[in-house]
Amino acid sequence: MEVAVLAAITPSSNPWQYELHPEVWLLVTFLVGAYVYAIRVIGPRAVLPGQKVVTGKQIGCFIGAMTLLFTASSWPLHDIAEEYLYSAHMLQHMMLSYFMPPLALLATPEWLARLLVGRGRTHAVVSWLAKPVVAAVAFNAILMITHIPGMVTLAVENGSAHYTLHVLVVVSSLLMWMCVCGPLPELRISAGGQMIYLFSQSIVPTVPAGWLIFAEGTVYKVYDHDPRLWGISVTYDQQYAGLIMKVGGSIFLWTIVAYLFFFRFMAGWEQENSFKRTRRIPDAEIVGHSDEPALTYDDVAKVFDTVPPTPEPERP
């Protein structure tokens, strides 16, 4: 019986059969090669003498971004997301919109961003698209469009449409994150603005997430087929997708908001409000620390001697 069942499973119905995605390998290889060429060849000519071309943190962020891009776009996650589970499709989109873009921006040195964007028309277009309101509207509009059942069916059945939607998701995400952690300082907003901005980004996904969690029946017919991977029903699959979208995205954004609050606004709060003193004197308690010579009693006495006495008021 087991042999007959295994024989009945064709390669197309086996979710764990390896499938090569050469377009993903080519894209990641190109990006890695371009980044290495930029920091090895272009960077030393673009920065001032003594200035670092790239930091270790930026290299680490680039490795993380490429790892997420490759994982989300290749086997097995891509194949499971496209053919079996919509929850895997949601995880794939979370990686491409929430996790990978900020790492890619943090990995980009300012000199490299200025070479790519320039200071003319391209810079003006990017600056306008990266405005918080414009970028937020575009990002959330694409987010809503990608959850329309007809668009999901088109993406699953048409490979070109699938990758086109992924490109739109990544580009809109890069623009959305630009004012938070982009490499161009003039496009970033204040820490307080970033907190409000990121918190607002967790509101709109509540609509499609709640729709998926509480929907009656099958929302995406294209995922309602056999075999069911890991025995997950189509209803549970939809609910898991909604939870990934709402809980995963919200926790990620709220964690960044908490970081901005505690490490930007609350820095030094404990020291300033404690009776304990460290070796470093707080700036508010530094008195008389300057390059001028120390003030002596004789100096003060001379100043008082030069000031005429105040006349006494006349008595009536």
In a domain, 216, yes or no: yes
The pair phi, psi for residue 128, each rounded to 5°, is -70, -45
In a domain, 183, yes or no: yes
**Can you tell me which residue has the tokens 């499938």?**
19
In this prediction, residue 298 carries a pLDDT of 76
pLDDT band of residue 268 (cuts 50, 70, 90) is: low
The residue segments making up the domain with residue 30 are: 20-266
Q: What does the pLDDT look like over 200-232, one tens digit per residue? A: 888 888 888 888 888 878 888 888 877 778 878
C-beta separation of 74 from 120 below 8 A: no
Q: Compare 12 and 266 and report the one with higher pLDDT.
A: 266
**pLDDT above 70 (res 277):** no
**pLDDT above 60 (res 191):** yes
In this prediction, residue 217 carries a pLDDT of 80
In a domain, 272, yes or no: no
Q: What does the pLDDT look like over 26-64, one tens digit per residue? A: 999 999 999 999 999 999 998 888 889 999 999 999 999
**pLDDT above 80 (res 14):** no
C-beta separation of 104 from 65 below 8 A: yes
pLDDT band of residue 235 (cuts 50, 70, 90) is: confident
Number of structural domains (the chain) is 1
How many percent of the chain have pLDDT more than 70? 83
pLDDT band of residue 11 (cuts 50, 70, 90) is: very low
In a domain, 295, yes or no: no
Contacts of 15 (CB under 8 A, 6+ apart): 76, 79, 80, 83, 84, 229
Q: What does the pLDDT look like over 137-156, one tens digit per residue? A: 999 999 889 888 889 888 88
In a domain, 298, yes or no: no
| 3-class DSSP assignment, residue 188 | coil
- Mean pLDDT calculated for residue range 190-208: 88
Residue 184: name the closest of 101, 100, 123 by CA.
Answer: 123
pTM of the prediction? 0.77
Kindly report the average pLDDT of the chain as a whole number. Answer: 83
In a domain, 74, yes or no: yes
In a domain, 123, yes or no: yes
Q: Compare 82 and 308 and report the one with higher pLDDT.
A: 82
In a domain, 288, yes or no: no
Q: What does the pLDDT look like over 290-316, one tens digit per residue? A: 555 666 777 777 777 777 776 666 665
In this prediction, residue 271 carries a pLDDT of 52
